[in-house]
Amino acid sequence: MKKFTWSILLLVIFLGLFSCTDSNVSDEPQPEPEPDNTLLGQLNIPDQFDFNTTGEIKLEISDSDEGAYYYIYSYEDVISWQEIEYTDDEGNTVSEEVPIADHYNTIELGVVRVSGGKANVSLSVPTNVKKLLLKKYYNGAFASAFSNDITEERPLNLTFNGSNLKTKSKPKVSSKNAALASDILWCVNGSGQLFTVNPEDMTTVRKRDLAEGTWTVAMDFHNHQFYTIGRNKPYKLYRYDVDVENDYAVSEPTIINDNLGFGGPRLEYANDEGFLYFSNKDYIYKLNPADGSVLETFNIDNGLNNTGGGDIAKGKDGSWYMSTFGGLYALTFNEGSNEVNAVRKSADNLPFTPTSLCIDTKQTPDIWVADNFTPSSLYVMDTQTGGYDTRDPDNELGINDLTKTPLEYENVGDSDNDGCPDDIDEFPNDPEVCLKTVTPTKYGWGSLAFEDLWPYKGDYDFNDLVVNYRYTMMINLDNKAVRMEAKFWVKHVKGASFNNGFGIQFDNLLPGQIESVTGTDIRSNYIDVQANGLEANQEKAVVIAFDQSQNYRDETSEPDPDYNELTINIRFTEPLDLDEIGTSPFNPFLIVNGNRSKEIHLPNHSRTSLGEGDTSQSVTNLDTDGDYRSPKGLPWAIAIAHEFKYTKEKVEIIEGYNHFAKWAESGGELYPDWYKDNAGYRNTDKIE
């Protein structure tokens, strides 16, 4: 009996042990992922860091000026200083430290229109951007202001009240004959004297003296105000208002910047842009007139045979000119570049040294130049040949710079009758659309870089496939997107590798919201395309840009629209709010070697309906949960808000970019601009 009792007890204990064990769990231990001995694998990546260099900012603008337009720029205050020498208007050699800012410091993100007191827009903004620059255009004039400071946090909601950002009305239209000179010339000198000249009879009128002497003057003739820079340190930037209804009376000065930090001979206000342009020697600086901050630096090529003195001016047709002590030059700003080309227009050395430059507003414009003598003479020059005629004002004063006040304006037309004036309309012959937003920049590219061995460990050079992107949203007057243009430049395809595809899922859009897609390059039968150009059998809208990357193996230094540049046009069924569409680069993905179910996405991005995860348990599978992050938090794809210079084969990205590791381990807080070509940022010997 006792033996039987012990047998029952042992059986109960045995069954109890099994009842506490999960029947779904194997008796064998789960394999640990193989150790990652790469340099990148040694980093400590914060949980859920997604390696994004851009993110969404939802901007809401409030403004009581109905119909005002806002140009929106990202602004990055990254300035270095460089010492240069230049010759001032008195012929003295001056040494100064001047600021240098690259053309990524201000990037135009888009334009919106105030309707019903509001303008809302969703923007894809690099995480290194600290504020937005907003330029309001209303009643034919510009005014600008910065947003509040912004952090690296994305997505981010931002508001801006523009009701107090005022522009002034245009002066009355004159009935002068447009073939005649129709401007008043404004003249300044180093003694602080200010006077006007009537170019028809050369009569002069003295105005109040300036706060201090200056070599420069530039007129914002829409807002009836002009700017000067003091001739001596600390080089204050002044603004003066002009009362056009009171005989052009000049106000007391407003100090815009009490320590601009540089002075020199050349200044212009681009009235079609709302920016100041300052120049000395062979540099040009684009300035924010609200505070004098340097937005961009341009370098003039070797076309200047003399870089001393002179002035810079922009005509109403957008043409730029520069005078120096060596003569008259036409300037060409190269799109998307910091380089400016100079071509000499005056055939011979001029018998005078020009200190100033001004282009009048006649139908066939002339250039007005003053020399550096006292009293100064004025010269009327031809824009084509640099030929000139001499005119002498009726006073004994010197002229160190010139600007103008036009007395007539042409009515701006509306060629497509869409309610958007031609000087604002990005598409003046298309009544459907008026404005646009561009990501990442109007002329630049962002990049998508992939490792194609997912879910297994790659070599982290991120060069198996590199695709550059640029998205343009085409918007109507209601700030709704009618169409989208997606440009892709297949920058690099790894040789003797997989033949991969590339697509984009628009996570916020259903297939029924897309009317048509054109411009894709599909050559295989594993991609099933609907009649409207979208991929079939998808829950969300998916566009396959191309399906065979090996067709683009031969690299080019520039995109070739007949070879490796795709322009994909997407028309929406109905105009959509921008935040309905989402922000670029959306949800791009690589299709591995013709296997439609095997997709590689950016970290924490979802697969399409046709993609499948890989939950197989092995030491080599580094993404069993399908979030496109390894157990160490490393990605198989990255998106860069800048054209990416990829590293050489088998060279990890961390070896080519010195601050990538600090950026990743800080969760994006440190060196958010790690990809730039700033001093000390790159090891160029490791980058292609």
Quote the CATH superfamily of domain 183-406.
TolB, C-terminal domain (2.120.10.30)
State residue 353's pLDDT score: 76
- Give burial (CB, 10 Å; 0-12/13-18/19+) of 680: exposed
What single string gives the DSSP state of each residue in 514-560? Answer: EEEEE--B--STTS-B-TTSSBSS-SSEEEEEES-GGGG-S--SS--
State residue 14's pLDDT score: 43
- The continuous run of DSSP H or E covering 323 comes out as strand 320-324
Mean pLDDT of 262-275: 92
The candidate with the shortest Cα–Cα distance to 354, out of 314, 322, 397, is 322
630-669: per-residue pLDDT in tens? 999 999 999 998 889 999 999 999 999 999 999 999 999 9
For the chain, what percent of residues have pLDDT higher than 70? 85
The candidate with the shortest Cα–Cα distance to 110, out of 95, 101, 118, 120, is 120
Which CATH number does 54-161 carry? 2.60.40
Average model confidence (pLDDT) across the chain: 86
Residue written as tokens 């020697």? 281
State residue 22's pLDDT score: 38
Q: Is the pLDDT of residue 607 over 50?
A: yes
pLDDT tier for residue 356 given thresholds of 50, 70 and 90? confident
185-222: per-residue pLDDT in tens? 999 999 999 999 988 888 889 999 999 999 999 999 88
pLDDT tier for residue 347 given thresholds of 50, 70 and 90? low
210-256: per-residue pLDDT in tens? 999 999 999 998 899 999 999 999 999 999 999 888 888 999 999 99
482-505: per-residue pLDDT in tens? 999 999 999 999 866 799 999 999
pLDDT tier for residue 26 given thresholds of 50, 70 and 90? very low
Instruction: Decide: 246 and 216 in contact? Cβ < 8 Å.
Output: no
pLDDT tier for residue 82 given thresholds of 50, 70 and 90? low
Instruction: Decide: 406 and 199 in contact? Cβ < 8 Å.
Output: no
User: In the numeric block, which tokens belong to residue 448?
Assistant: 């998508």
Most confident of 133-147, 295-309, 340-354, 509-523: 509-523
Q: Is the pLDDT of residue 182 over 50?
A: yes
For 358-372, 373-387, 576-590, 671-685, which range has the lowest pLDDT when averaged over its residues? Answer: 373-387
| Side chain identity at residue 440, one-letter code | P
Number of helices and strands in the chain (H, E): 4, 41
Q: Three-state SS for 685?
A: helix
For the chain, what percent of residues have pLDDT higher than 90? 54
Q: Is the pLDDT of residue 90 over 80?
A: no
Better-scored residue on pLDDT, 48 or 99: 48
Q: Is the pLDDT of residue 21 over 50?
A: no
Q: Is the pLDDT of residue 467 over 50?
A: yes
State residue 65's pLDDT score: 94
Q: Measured between alpha carbons, how far is 405 from 401 in angstroms, rounded to an integer? A: 14
State residue 395's pLDDT score: 80
Q: Is the pLDDT of residue 593 over 90?
A: yes
Q: Is the pLDDT of residue 176 over 80?
A: no
Long-range contacts of 45-49 (CB under 8 A, 24+ apart): 45/632, 45/633, 45/634, 45/664, 45/665, 46/633, 46/665, 46/666, 46/667, 47/633, 48/604, 49/603, 49/633, 49/664, 49/667, 49/668
394-440: per-residue pLDDT in tens? 888 888 899 988 765 455 688 999 999 887 888 999 999 999 999 98
Q: Is this model's pTM higher than 0.95 or not?
A: no
State residue 79's pLDDT score: 64
Annotated domain spans of the chain: 54-161, 183-406, 435-646, 647-688
State residue 580's pLDDT score: 94
State residue 98's pLDDT score: 60
